[in-house]
Every structure is written in structure tokens, then in C-alpha cells.
């Protein structure tokens, strides 16, 4: 064992009781009984485990030698900065070659990617393809299709004060950027930002989540095989490695995870005045009106809750608000549709993901077992700690001050909160920090308009859930505690670009009015020009003035 140096995490202490790696030998997972309390770089706490295998001691010793510290992190950043001095990453050809390699990587390794996602989360193959593999591929294909257009300078209007002139906005790479991804969509949320960073012409370092070790290991191997190692790297590890990376000066950092750790990332970035994109989360509500197609609405809620990583998604439905009169009908409809989706015994369903780790499982159990919460279960509640399985669970009218209504749930628990009037739900939502997503199910046009105008969220979707993130013409990002900055599609390109303003002038049209000595006549001409343009200036020249 070795002491774990937290670095940027001074309020936390721990002992690293094992190195979490993928070994070539067959490993058997067993829970470490020694206490470990320290901060994860992702949503909530990771499941720190030890592994027993035939070569455990020698492998552990070898891994100790390969520890990634601040010196190595600094050396990596220095190397990448040196490699891009030739401006090769700025070229269209290099960007296209890397994007084509990513597309090829995805196509040729679809089965391996799906297997890694299953190993990490028991994610069904169909769900892995739809939610991660196909989305990453589509993002890459869009960048390839639009890159030349995105790179083209954007013409800008000029004012009369600079006449004659022309102007444009040039998108240039920021430099060397860091992407810290998360475990719940470990392939998509790693590859998608990297696509944007490469499309914008940057060198990039990816730090995948240690809580999804199979996908993390696969990403190392795939990036090493398909991409230009002189500009694109992957660093595996946990808190020490992330801490070492955050000590460095980057030109931008994109972090996906919890708001708690988002604050730590932002604090680290502030030391170097590094801009950040923080994609965090929060309690995403879904309002359900009574005048809806109930079957379609409940199916779409299921898709945005349990079908979406079994609730382990930052844009997943965190809680539902409906009227007291309509709640029983909604619960009955959810019960029926859940059975259609996952069978009478969802614990045995092959179409639903498991909870990612023991720590997350026990965290969810604490939410469920809190006083005045456990007695609010109206459906589900089954759990199996050994298999990390937890059934879709619905609770009705849990106390507003309960922990389940304070924290982002990030799991298969769905509280339903009732109000007298559906419009009362706006106040309930606005009383909490602004969410990453907000959903409304209704056929009332005035209610839709009022919802959009009066509820603040990172993004919104009317009469469905989660699909807004698949629309590449819409930005994806949070607001206030749910995040800052946005990406997806061209927004990813823009997120990793500096928009450089360029003004062009010739030597013609030089006017003495702008230069000293400052006379009264020059003052009148300048005021007329600024106020009324060239026509006003001409009038001033012939002696007419508003003054």
C-alpha cells in the first residue's frame, strides 16, 4: 500500500488500497473491507477495489513504478506544446486525417466498445450502440462534413468610422486542451469532446474515468493505434493523476461530472486563468400535465430515466411533478409500461444497466432508506447488492427536505411530487438550483410558452426526454450550478477555438479629422459622423448642424 497524495484535494485524505488497472491475467474482484474516504473526480464516490490475480504482487509493484505525477504531467504538456509549434494541427489535412481515423476506429471496434461498456455498466448492446457508439460516429461524420465551412473566416460588418475597411472573424486553435470525462457514458463523453478539440486544431489530452476501467483501457489502446500520438494522448488513473494534470497550465479544460468536483476543477484552472467548460448536472424535472397521451408520455419518461443508463445520466429525469388528481393515473401507466419494457421481474432484465459501483449502490440505498422516504415507495424497491442491481422505483410525495429531493439522484429512483395546479410546478423547480435539463408534457400551448419563459435550465424538451442532446444544431450545456459553456456539433468546434477579430484597411481614405490638433470644426464633424453617419458629416461640412 502507499499513501495517496491528494494535491488539489487538501480537505480529503485516504490510503490508496489498490491500483485499479486492467491486467492481462484473469482477475477476481473483491470488495476491500478497509475504509477509504476520499474524493472522486466524477459523480459521487468511486468504488475503490482490490483485485486478486496470479501476478498481483508483481503487477502492483510494476504499476507503482508507472505512477503519473506532476513532473510527468508537466513533461507531457511541454512535449505537446513543442509538437504543435510546427502548426501541423492547424492544417485542414491533419484535422481531417484524425477525424477519419476516429470514424474508422469506431466502425472497426464496435463490438469491443460495446463489450467494454457492458463490462463497466452491464449496458445492453442495443443501448450502447444507440446512446454512445452511433452518437460518437455521427458527431465525427458531422465534423468531417462541415469542417471546411467551420474553418472558413466569418465575414463581419464594419462601421462608418473605419470606412473604407473589411473585417472577419478567424477561428484559431486554443493550443493544448484537457478533457476529463465521466463514467456513465464513458465512450461517448470521452470521444465527443475530443472530436471537437481536434476539429478546432488543438492538441488534446483525454483523462477517462477510472470508475469505468474497461472503457478507459480500451480508449488507451484505440487512441494509441489510430491517432497521432504527437498531439493526442490518453492518461489513465484516478485522483493523483487527475490532480497532477490539473496542476498544469492548459489552454482549456472540459470537465464532465459533479458540481462539487466542478468547483475544484474551476479553482485549479483559475490559478492559470484557464477557461473551462463544466458539464455538471442537477435535479432535472419533468412536469406532466393531465391532457397528454399518457402511454406515449410514460414511455418517454421511461426512456429518459431507466432506459437511459438506469437513471445514471446527468440529463435523466430526476423527479416528476404532476397534480394530485392525475398522479394515480400516471403511476398506473408507468407500472404497466415498465413491465412491458423490463418484465415482471426487472431485477432479471437484460435490458437494464446495473449500478456502476458498490459506493454508488450504498449511496442510493441511503436515499431510499431515509426516514419518511422508504414508506413512500409505490412501485419497485427491490435491490441486490451482490449484483449491484436495483429495480426501477417510484416514490410518491417524499418530504421536500429529504435527501432524495436535495441531491441529484443519479440512479433508478423516481420521486413523484404532487401540486394542486400544474403551474405551481414552476415555483417548485425555480426554488432549486437550475438544472441541466427540464421537461414538460402537455398539449396546452400557453403552458408550453409559460414554461419556456419562466423556467431556467441548460436545455428544454417539450413532450419527450433527452433527445434534445442529439440535435447537433442545438448547444448542450448547463447554467449556474448545472454547468457553464456548451458543446456538440459546431458548438464543440467553437468551444475549442479562439474567435480572433481581424480588421483590414488600405492606405486610402485617410482623414485628418482623427488626428491632433483637435479643433472645434473637427469636433463638430466627428460628432456628426458618429451620430448621423456620412450624410450627417456632409451636412456639417456645408455648415448645417443639429447643434
Pairing of strands 232-234, 252-256: unpaired
Collect all residues with Cβ–Cβ distance below 8 Å to 435 and sequence separation of at least 6. Answer: 281, 282, 283, 284, 285, 318, 429, 457, 458, 482
Catalytic pick among 140, 284, 308, 314: 314
Catalytic-residue membership of 25: no
CB 269 within 8 A of CB 248: no
Bond preceding residue 164 cis, omega within 30 of 0: yes
Contact 433, 413 (CB under 8 A): no
Strands 2-3 and 377-379: unpaired
Tell me how many degrees the CA angle 509-514-517 measures, rounded to the nearest 5: 130
Helices (H), 409-510: 424-430, 445-454, 490-495
Q: Is 314 a catalytic residue?
A: yes
Backbone phi, psi, residue 203, to 5°: -85, 145
The 8-class DSSP code of residue 404 comes to G
For the residues of 51-94, what is the DSSP string, one character each? EE-TTHHHHHHHHHHT---HHHHHHHHHHHHHHGGG-GGGSHHH
CA distance 132 to 444: 34
Q: How many CB atoms lie within 10 A of CB 133?
A: 23
Catalytic residue among 241, 279, 337, 481: 279
* Rounded Cα gap, residues 356 and 212, in angstroms: 8
- Dihedral (CA of 264, 267, 272, 278) sign: positive
Q: Which residues are catalytic?
A: 279, 314
Amino acid at each position: 500500500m502507499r499513501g495517496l497524495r491528494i494535491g488539489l484535494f487538501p480537505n480529503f485524505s485516504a490510503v490508496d488500497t489498490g491500483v485499479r488497472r486492467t491486467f492481462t491475467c484473469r482477475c477476481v474482484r473483491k470488495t476491500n473491507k478497509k475504509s477509504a474516504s476520499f474524493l472522486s473526480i466524477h459523480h459521487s464516490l468511486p468504488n475503490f477495489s482490490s483485485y486478486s490475480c496470479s501476478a498481483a504482487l508483481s503487477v502492483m509493484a510494476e504499476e507503482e513504478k508507472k505512477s503519473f505525477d506532476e513532473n510527468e504531467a508537466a513533461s507531457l504538456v511541454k512535449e505537446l506544446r513543442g509538437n504543435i509549434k510546427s502548426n501541423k494541427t492547424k492544417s485542414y489535412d491533419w484535422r481531417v486525417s484524425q477525424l477519419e481515423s476516429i470514424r474508422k476506429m469506431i466502425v472497426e471496434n464496435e463490438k469491443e466498445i460495446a463489450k467494454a461498456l457492458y463490462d463497466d455498466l452491464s449496458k445492453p448492446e442495443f443501448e450502447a450502440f444507440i446512446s454512445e457508439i452511433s452518437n460518437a460516429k455521427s458527431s465525427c461524420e458531422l465534423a468531417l462534413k462541415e469542417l471546411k465551412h467551420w474553418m472558413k473566416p466569418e465575414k463581419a460588418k464594419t462601421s462608418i468610422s473605419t470606412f473604407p475597411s473589411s473585417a472577419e472573424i478567424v477561428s484559431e486553435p486554443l493550443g493544448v486542451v484537457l478533457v476529463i470525462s465521466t463514467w456513465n457514458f464513458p465512450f461517448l463523453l470521452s470521444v465527443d469532446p475530443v472530436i471537437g478539440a481536434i476539429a478546432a486544431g488543438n492538441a488534446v489530452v483525454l483523462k477517462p474515468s477510472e470508475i469505468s476501467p474497461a472503457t478507459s483501457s480500451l480508449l488507451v489502446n484505440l487512441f494509441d493505434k489510430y491517432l497521432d500520438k504527437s498531439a493526442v494522448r490518453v492518461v489513465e488513473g484516478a485522483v493523483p493523476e487527475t490532480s497532477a494534470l490539473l496542476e498544469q497550465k492548459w489552454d482549456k479544460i472540459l470537465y464532465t461530472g459533479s458540481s462539487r468536483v466542478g468547483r475544484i476543477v474551476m479553482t485549479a484552472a483559475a490559478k492559470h486563468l484557464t477557461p473551462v467548460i463544466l458539464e455538471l448536472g442537477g435535479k432535472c424535472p419533468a412536469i406532466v400535465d393531465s391532457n397528454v397521451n399518457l402511454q406515449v408520455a410514460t414511455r418517454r419518461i421511461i426512456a429518459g430515466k431507466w432506459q437511459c443508463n438506469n437513471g445514471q445520466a446527468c440529463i435523466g429525469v430526476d423527479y416528476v411533478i404532476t397534480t394530485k388528481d392525475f398522479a394515480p393515473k400516471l403511476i398506473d401507466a408507468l407500472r404497466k409500461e415498465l413491465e412491458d419494457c423490463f418484465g415482471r421481474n426487472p431485477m432479471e432484465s437484460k435490458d437494464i444497466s446495473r449500478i456502476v459501483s458498490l459506493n454508488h449502490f450504498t449511496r442510493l440505498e441511503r436515499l431510499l432508506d431515509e426516514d419518511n422516504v422508504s414508506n413512500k415507495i409505490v412501485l419497485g424497491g427491490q435491490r441486490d447488492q451482490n449484483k449491484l442491481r436495483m429495480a426501477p422505483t417510484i416514490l410518491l410525495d417524499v418530504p421536500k427536505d429529504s435527501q432524495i429531493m436535495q441531491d441529484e439522484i443519479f440512479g433508478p429512483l423516481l420521486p413523484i411530487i404532487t401540486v394542486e395546479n400544474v403551474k405551481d410546478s414552476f415555483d417548485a423547480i425555480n426554488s432549486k438550483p437550475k438544472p441541466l435539463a427540464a421537461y414538460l408534457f402537455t398539449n396546452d400551448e400557453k403552458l408550453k410558452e409559460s414554461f419556456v419563459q419562466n423556467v431556467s435550465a441548460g436545455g428544454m424538451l417539450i413532450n419527450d426526454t433527452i433527445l434534445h442532446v442529439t440535435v447537433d444544431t442545438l448547444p448542450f450545456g448547463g447554467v449556474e450550478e448545472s454547468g457553464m459553456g456548451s458543446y456538440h456539433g459546431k458548438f464543440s468546434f467553437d468551444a475549442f477555438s479562439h474567435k480572433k477579430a481581424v480588421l483590414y484597411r488600405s492606405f486610402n481614405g485617410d482623414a485628418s479629422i482623427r488626428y491632433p490638433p483637435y479643433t472645434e470644426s473637427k469636433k463638430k464633424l466627428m460628432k456628426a459622423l458618429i451620430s448621423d453617419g456620412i450624410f450627417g458629416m456632409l451636412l456639417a461640412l456645408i455648415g448645417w448642424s443639429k447643434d
